[in-house]
A and B are shown apart, each in its own frame.
Chain A
C-alpha cells in the first residue's frame, strides 16, 4: 500500500509534529517534573529530597530561585530550634515532626550551595534577607565569623532602598554574631543604633529581639537589675500594644504574643537570680561526639531551665545553639539555676545511635562557674537472643546481647503489649555479664499494670492484662541498657532503627511454656470473680499450683486498686504470705512491707524491709529506702531515719523525700543552718511547671520568723513537727486554724505533700 503526498505537505506536517514535541519536552515535562518533585519532597517520599535537588539543578534561573525559596528558605531557620527530626533529653525523646514521611529537614551540606547561590544572584527582597540570616547563623555556628558577616553584608548591599526593616534585621543579626564572639563594644554600638530605629509597631518581634539581646549583654556584664528593667520596659510596651490591638479588633479574642511569653519567662529567671543575690552568670560548654570520637557538627543544643523542660523547645528559651564542626557548644551568660541538656538531631544522625539519659539529670549552675558537660552518642546495643519472634517452650529463657565496652552492669527490661500500648517492666537490674538465664516463672511474677475498660457503662479491670508474661498468645519484647561503674547509662538496645543496616534483630519472643487454664480463659473474658473462684479452688486442690496462687494475688491487687483501697486487704494477706514462703520474690515482699507500713505494724515493717534488702542483695531501691526512712521518722527513730534518708537521697535524683529529711534534721538538731544545707544539697526537682516546694526558702522563712519571736518558737516547731510525724491530722488542723506563724504553716503544708 502506498500513499501519495507532496513534499510541501510532508514538511509542514513534520514541522508541526516537532513543534509539539518541543513543547512537550521543554515545557510540559519539566513543569510536571517540578510538580512531582515538589510533591514528593513535601510528602516525605523516599528520595524526595534527592529528586528535588536534581530538579533545582536543571531548572532555569527564575524557576530555581522559586524552588529554593519555597523549599529551603521558607522552611529554613536562623535559630537552633527548628530543622531537626528528633529532640532527645532527660525527659525522653520527642519526634519534632509528624511520624509520616521521610524527613523534610535539609542537612546543611545539601542546602548550603543553594542558599549561597541565592545570596549572590537571587532576587533582592525579603527572602534574600532570610537566606542571608540563615547563612550567617550557619557560619556563626561553624565559627566562621568572617563568612557570616560577609553574608549579611552582601545581602545589605544587594537590597534596594525600600528595605529599611530588613536592613535593621541584618544589623541585629550582626550584633548577635559579635555577642557570640564577645565583641561587646561592637554589640553596644549596633544596639545603640538599632534603639533609634525601633519598629513603630510595638507588636513587631524586632523590638522584643533587641530587648532580649540587650538583656543578654547586661547579664554578661553582671548587671542583672538593668536587664530586668530592659525586659520589663519591653513587656509593658508589648502589653500596651496588645491592649490597643484588642480594642481595635475586639473580635480577635484574647491572645498572648509569643514574644511576650518569652520575655515574661526571661524576666522570671532574672528576678529569681536577683532574689538569690546571684548576679554573676556562668558558662556551660562541652562537646558532642560519637563514641569513636567523631565530632557531631550542627547538632541543636538546648540548655533548658526547670520550668521549660516540660514543654517542647521554643525559640524563646535563652540558651540554644548549634555545635560547630568540632562538635563544640558554649553557652555564656547562663543565670544560676538548674538546667537539663537536650539535643536536636536529624534522623540520619540518630539512626542506629543513642544518647541514653538519666531522669532528673540536672546541671546545677552557680555563680561565675565554668561547667563542662560532654555528650557521647553510642551505637545501639545489639540483642542476640531471644529474637525474631522466637518461641520459648522451656522452663528458662536465655537472654543474650552484644557486650559493651566499659559496661559495669546491664539492666534487662521486658514489655507486655496491652490495648493501645505496652507495659514495660524491669526484669533484672545489675547483670554483670552480657547474658542471663532466667526461669520463666520469674517473668510470670512481674506485674503488667492494671488498666480499665468500660463494659455496660461500668468501669471494670481489664482481665486480659493481668496474665502478663503468662499469656502464651501474646508477643513480648525485651530491651537491655548498659551502665558504667558510676551508674551512668552508656547505651541501650532501643532506639531509632531506620534502615536495613540498623534494623538489627527484632526484639520479640513468645513464651509458650504453659497453656491457658480454665481460669485464665475466664480472666481473658473479663469474668474476674469467676476466675478468682477457679484459681482459689485450683490452689486449694493443689498447693504446688504456683500459677493460681500468683493470679490470686494479682487479682486482689487489681480489685483493690479499682476499689480505691490503699494497700492490700486482710483477705489477700495469707495468699501473699504463702507466696513469699514459696517464692521470696521482692515484688511480694514489698507488698507485705507496704501492707504493714500502712497498718503501722512497725516490727513487721522492719522484718520485711530486712527481707527486701536480702532479696536485693543489699542494693535497695532509693524509693523503698525513702519509704522506710519515712516509716522510721514516724516511729520517732530519728537517727536511723536520717541515715536511711541520707543514703536514699544520694541515689534518688528527684529528691522527692527531702522534705522529710529536712524535718528530721530540724527536729533532731534544732538548727536551721544544717537543714538549709541539706535543702541546698538535695533540691526537690520540680516535676511540673508550677514548681515544687523550695525547702531552702521555707527554712529561711522559719529562721526569720523564729528570730523575731524567740525561744518559744523552737518549742512550737517541735510540737507541730511531732503532730506531723504522728500523722495527727486533727491536731494539725486545729493548729493551722489558730496560728499566725505563716512560715511554719507553709513548712507544714509543704511537708503534708511529701510522697
Chain B
C-alpha cells in the first residue's frame, strides 16, 4: 500500500514537476479580500439566493406605492379630461337655457312624481 502511494506520488511529482501554482495570492485575495477593490468585486459577483414569494410581494408593494404617488398624480388630469370628454350641450327648454345633462337630471327627478 505504502509502496503504491509512494509510486503514485513519484509519478505525479514527475509529471507536474514542471508546473508551479503562481496564483496563490489571488486566491487568497478572493477568499480573504483585504482591499476595497477586491471586496467590491466580490460583492459584485456574489450570487444571491432570493426567495421568490417574499421578494415578489415586496416589489409589488413598492410598485403599488409608487403608482399611487406618482402615477396617480399624472393620471388625475388624464382621468378628469377623459371622463369629462363627454361634451356638454346647451339646450333651450321652457324659455330657459340649460346644460342638457343638468336639465335631464332635473326633469328625471320630477318625472313620475306627477305624470302617471
* Interface residue ranges, A against B (CB under 8 Å): 1-8, 10, 21, 25, 29-30, 32-33, 36-37, 39-40, 43-48, 51, 54-55, 95, 99-102, 388-391, 415, 422, 424, 477-479, 493-500, 503, 506-508, 510
Contacts and interface: CB of A to CB of B under 8 A. Distances in A.
Contacts of A493: 95
Contacts of B70: 25
5 contacts: A2-B50, A5-B47, A36-B78, A47-B80, A102-B88
A44 B87 contact: yes
B3 to A, nearest CB: 47
Given A477-B95, A479-B95, A497-B96, A8 B45 contact: yes
A4 B50 CA distance: 6
A40 B110 contact: no
Contacts of B107: 389, 506
Contacts of A6: 44-48
**Chain B interface size range:** 35 or more
A51 B80 contact: yes
Chain A CB count within 10 A is highest, among B43, B45, B77, B97, for: B77
Secondary structure at chain A's binding surface: helix, strand, loop or mixed? Answer: mixed
Nearest to B112: A389
A40 B81 contact: yes
A7 B45 contact: yes
Given A1-B52, A1-B53, A3-B52, A48 B74 contact: no
A415 B94 contact: yes
A7 B89 contact: no
Interface stretch (B5-13, B18-26, B27-35, B98-106): B98-106
A27 B22 CA distance: 55
Contacts of B93: 477
A95 B52 contact: no
B65 interface: no
Given A5-B48, A43-B87, A102-B88, A510 B115 contact: yes
B14 interface: no
Contacts of B53: 1
A431 to B, nearest CB: 18
B61 interface: no
Contact of B97 (A4, A415, A496): A496
Contact of A25 (B74, B90, B91, B98): B74
Contacts of B87: 43-45, 100-101
A47 B77 CA distance: 10
A495 B97 contact: yes
Contact of A503 (B82, B89, B106): B106
B85 A39 contact: yes
Contacts of B115: 389, 391, 510
Nearest to B99: A498
A422 B66 CA distance: 57
Contact of A45 (B88, B110, B113): B88
